[in-house]
Every structure is written in C-alpha cells, then in structure tokens.
Amino acid sequence: MKRFSTRLAVVALAMTTVSLGLTSTTAQAHTGHSGGHHGSSPATGWYVALGDSLAAGYQPNAGDDRTGGYVGKVLVAEQRMARKTKLRNLACSGE
C-alpha cells in the first residue's frame, strides 16, 4: 500500500509540473511574448506525458500508440493555442 501511495504522489507531482509548464506555454502564445525580443516567435513548448498504459496509448493486441488515446487529443487541443507545441510521451505501459 505504501508503494502505491508513493507512486501516486510522484505521478501527481509530475502532472502538476507538466500542467504548470503548459499553462506558461499557453500564456505566452496568447500574449505573443516569449520573453525574448519583440517580433520573435515564441519558443517551442513541450507537452510531456507521464503515466501508465493510458498515457502510453496501450491497446490490447496492438501495443502502444504514443500519439493516440487522450495524450494525442490533449496535444491537438494545446496546438490550437500554441502551434509549436511538441510531444514527449514518456509513459510506461508496463507491458
């Protein structure tokens, strides 16, 4: 039980960190400011997916689809606000 609680705490912390990073990237996209010179385009933002088989896009008898599942849908939604957002799916399906 302690192992599960520790894992849950780590996942929650990682999700919070990623959420804060996405909020910052989205705010930059809305204002057009990236902290650089005026007229420069915003830097590429990163969507880092951490988690288990759901984040990995695991499908029975098909393996992992790293851009499928909810991760791909979140990426598409984020790219509407910040076109340069790229995905790093570091999820582990355990399979």
pTM flag (> 0.75): no
Note the pLDDT of residue 37: 47
Helical (H) or strand (E) element with 35: none
Cα–Cα distance for residue pair 5/58, rounded to 1 Å: 23
Residues in the chain with pLDDT values less than 70? 1-42, 95
Helices (H), the chain: 2-31, 53-56, 69-81
